[in-house]
């Protein structure tokens, strides 16, 4: 549109300097939000056989199924050892059927195979934790819930079942966890899974380099500040994704009903204290066949590696 200026000359009306960056930022945020919603909705669903024993009610609740294929009957569930030849999806359905029939140990073995095959993500880990909990294997249940929470950090059923399982542990030892200040300061790190963070990092990469490229042709200050902001957020999100993926923090969950924690890495070493199934402790050092752990009160000791399940968070 042409308009005449105050001096009588004719010029072309231009957009406000920040209009272009605002449009790009809005589009990027919409795309980012859409991908995150898709990732959350696809990963946070829990199959029908995933039944939650909630802490508040202490009963079993069913969840909506997200799989359209028909589930096999319990008679079609494979025997142990035969599952190696089955596809992951069929294994998952067979595990669901075994769980619904109350065959929790068989269900746990089948869910383990599904997890080893890399199938169904956090839902399989959640189901595995339920099967372990039902079969009385508290340590394995808590370890599975911890892994499920890492994959589905906002799934309330996972959070509730983990909290409930922790109440069953004999030792009154607080599980390793970041402080509320850290959780508030680095909220994105504890609210998103590694996969979601990598998706966010990819989108922010596009926004950052796109702003730099556009700035080569348009010297508007809006593009500069958008590049600075997106670059800063990109660094934070990428750092969180790397930390999540590398598993720098390790938690050991005690598996047997009781285990000795000793002063040294020797079977004849003096016992310092005992821990019981389901107790979660921080791993601070490793030695062949042994793991050094630390309690919240800074009490330390060595425990045989095969007596714990180490979860990388």
What distance in Å separates the CA atoms of residue 46 and residue 124, rounded to the nearest whole number? Answer: 9
Among the candidates 168, 190, 218, a domain finishes at 168
Number of domains in the chain: 3
Q: Do 232 and 256 fall into the same domain?
A: no
Q: Do 234 and 266 fall into the same domain?
A: no
In a domain, 94, yes or no: yes
Per-residue pLDDT reduced to its tens digit, 137-171: 999 999 999 999 999 999 999 999 999 999 999 99
Q: Do 211 and 237 fall into the same domain?
A: yes
What pLDDT, on the 0 to 100 scale, is given for residue 216? 83
Among the candidates 168, 202, 219, a domain finishes at 168
Sorted by sequence, the CB contacts under 8 Å of residue 112 that are 6+ apart come out as 128
Residue position matching structure tokens 């079977």: 267
In a domain, 47, yes or no: no
Q: Do 261 and 271 fall into the same domain?
A: yes
Alpha helices in 101-170 (DSSP H): 104-116, 121-134, 138-151, 156-167
Q: Are 283 and 252 in contact (CB under 8 A)?
A: yes
Domain range for 128: 52-168
In a domain, 292, yes or no: yes
Q: Do 76 and 124 fall into the same domain?
A: yes
Q: Do 158 and 217 fall into the same domain?
A: no
Q: Do 242 and 279 fall into the same domain?
A: no
Residue 53 has pLDDT above 50, yes or no: no
- CA separation, residue 119 to residues 85, 113, 129 (Å): 15, 9, 15
Per-residue pLDDT reduced to its tens digit, 112-121: 999 998 876 8
What distance in Å separates the CA atoms of residue 173 and residue 228, rounded to the nearest whole number? Answer: 44
In a domain, 146, yes or no: yes
In a domain, 116, yes or no: yes
In a domain, 300, yes or no: yes
Q: Do 141 and 56 fall into the same domain?
A: yes
Name the residue among 30, 279, 40 with its Cα closest to residue 175.
Answer: 279
The token pair at 27 is 């589009």
Q: Do 65 and 162 fall into the same domain?
A: yes
What distance in Å separates the CA atoms of residue 44 and residue 156, rounded to the nearest whole number? Answer: 9
Q: Do 116 and 67 fall into the same domain?
A: yes
What pLDDT, on the 0 to 100 scale, is given for residue 247? 65
What pLDDT, on the 0 to 100 scale, is given for residue 240? 86
What pLDDT, on the 0 to 100 scale, is given for residue 4? 39
- The total of other beta-carbon atoms located within 10 Å of residue 22's CB is 13
Which of 65-74, 86-95, 291-300 is the least confident region? Answer: 65-74
At 86, the pLDDT band (50, 70, 90 cuts) reads: low
Q: Do 230 and 271 fall into the same domain?
A: no
At 89, the pLDDT band (50, 70, 90 cuts) reads: confident
Q: Do 221 and 277 fall into the same domain?
A: no
80: domain CATH number is 1.25.40.10
In a domain, 10, yes or no: no
In a domain, 83, yes or no: yes
Task: Find residue 275's DSSP bridge partners.
Answer: 259
What's the alpha-carbon Rg for the chain, to the nearest Å?
26
């Amino acid at each position: 549109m042409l308009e005449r200026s105050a001096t009588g000359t004719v010029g072309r009306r231009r957009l406000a300097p920040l209009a272009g960056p605002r449009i790009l930022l809005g589009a990027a945020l919409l795309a980012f939000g859409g991908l995150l919603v898709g990732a959350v909705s696809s990963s946070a669903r829990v199959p029908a056989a995933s039944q939650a024993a909630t802490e508040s009610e202490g009963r079993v609740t069913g969840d909506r199924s997200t799989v359209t294929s028909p589930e096999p009957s319990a008679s079609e569930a494979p025997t142990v050892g035969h599952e190696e030849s089955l596809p992951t999806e069929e294994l998952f359905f067979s595990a669901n059927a075994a769980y619904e029939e109350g065959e929790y140990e068989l269900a746990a073995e089948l869910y383990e195979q599904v997890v080893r095959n890399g199938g169904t993500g956090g839902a399989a880990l959640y189901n595995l934790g339920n099967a372990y909990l039902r079969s009385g294997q508290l340590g394995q249940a808590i370890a599975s819930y911890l892994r499920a929470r890492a994959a589905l950090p906002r799934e309330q059923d996972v959070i509730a079942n983990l909290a409930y399982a922790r109440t069953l542990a004999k030792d009154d030892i607080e599980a390793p966890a970041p402080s509320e200040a850290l959780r508030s300061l680095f909220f994105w790190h504890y609210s998103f899974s590694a996969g979601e963070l990598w998706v966010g990092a990819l989108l922010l990469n596009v926004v950052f380099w796109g702003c730099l490229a556009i700035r080569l042709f348009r010297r508007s200050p809006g593009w500069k500040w958008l590049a600075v902001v997106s670059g800063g957020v990109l660094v934070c999100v990428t750092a969180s994704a790397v930390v999540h993926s590398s598993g720098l923090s390790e938690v050991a969950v005690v598996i047997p009903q009781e285990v000795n924690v000793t002063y040294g890495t020797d079977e004849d070493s003096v016992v310092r204290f005992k821990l019981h199934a389901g107790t979660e402790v921080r791993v601070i050092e490793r030695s062949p066949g042994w793991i050094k752990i630390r309690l919240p009160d800074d009490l330390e000791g060595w425990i045989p590696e095969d007596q714990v399940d180490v979860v990388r968070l």
